[in-house]
Amino acid sequence: MATLAIGDQAPAITAKDQQGNTVNLSDFKGKKVILYFYPKDNTPGCTTEACNFRDNYQSLKQDGFEVIGVSTDSEQSHQKFIEKFELPFTLLADEDQKIVNDYGVWAEKNMYGKKYMGTNRTTFVIDEEGKIEHIIKKVDNKNATQQIRDLLAK
C-alpha cells in the first residue's frame, strides 16, 4: 500500500465518472484539485461532506480549485447520489479499488467489532503541477471546505 507524503507527485488516475466518461487526473494540470476519498454514496457522513463541497463549490472554483470525489461505488450509484443532492462536481467510480490503493486509503476498518476493508475518508489537495500540497486524514465532514481553507492560510 502506498504511503504518500506532502510534496510527492500525486499518483496518476484514469477512471470513469458518473456519466461513464474517462477522467484523468492529468486533465487538470494547471489547476488545483481537491481530491477527496469517501466510503460510500448516500451514507450520512459522506452526504454531509459532499453537500459541504457543493455549498462551497462556487467559491472553490473562484479560488482555482476543481473538486473530485472518489469512492468504490459504481457510476450508477454516483449518478443517483449527484442527482439526489445536486452535486456540481465529478465523482469517480473506483470499483476495482486501484485508486484507493494507489493513494493508500484502502485499509482495514472496524465497526462494532467486525473487521472489513474499506476507504479511509481522506482529502488530498493537489497543486497545479500535480504535487500533493496537503493531506487531511481527520476530515471534518460538516466543515470540509473550511478545513482546507484553514490549511491553505497557514
141 has a pLDDT exceeding 60: yes
| Rounded average pLDDT over 65-82 | 97
- Domain definitions of the chain by residue range: 14-153
Give catalytic status of residue 46 as yes or no. Answer: yes
Helical (H) or strand (E) element with 148: helix 144-153
Average pLDDT across the chain, whole number = 94
Tell me, what DSSP letter sits at residue 14? E
> Among residues 23, 46, 99, 125, which one is catalytic?
46
| Rounded average pLDDT over 111-120 | 91
Q: CATH assignment of 14-153?
A: 3.40.30.10
Say whether pTM exceeds 0.75: yes
pLDDT digits (tens, 9 = 90+) for 26-40: 999 899 999 999 999
| Rounded average pLDDT over 136-154 | 93
| Rounded average pLDDT over 81-108 | 96
SS3 154: coil
Q: What's residue 153's pLDDT? A: 86
SS3 136: strand
Q: What's residue 2's pLDDT? A: 61
Residue 79's pLDDT band (boundaries 50, 70, 90)? very high
- Work out the number of other CB atoms within 10 angstroms of the CB of residue 47: 18
Tell me the DSSP string of 60-129. Answer: HHHTTEEEEEEESS-HHHHHHHHHHHT--SEEEE-TT-HHHHHTT-EEEEEETTEEEEEEPPEEEEE-TT
SS3 131: strand
Spell out the residues 6+ positions from residue 136 whose beta carbon is closer than 8 angstroms to its own: 122, 123, 124, 125, 147, 148, 151
Question: Is the Cβ–Cβ distance between 69 and 139 less than 8 Å?
Answer: no
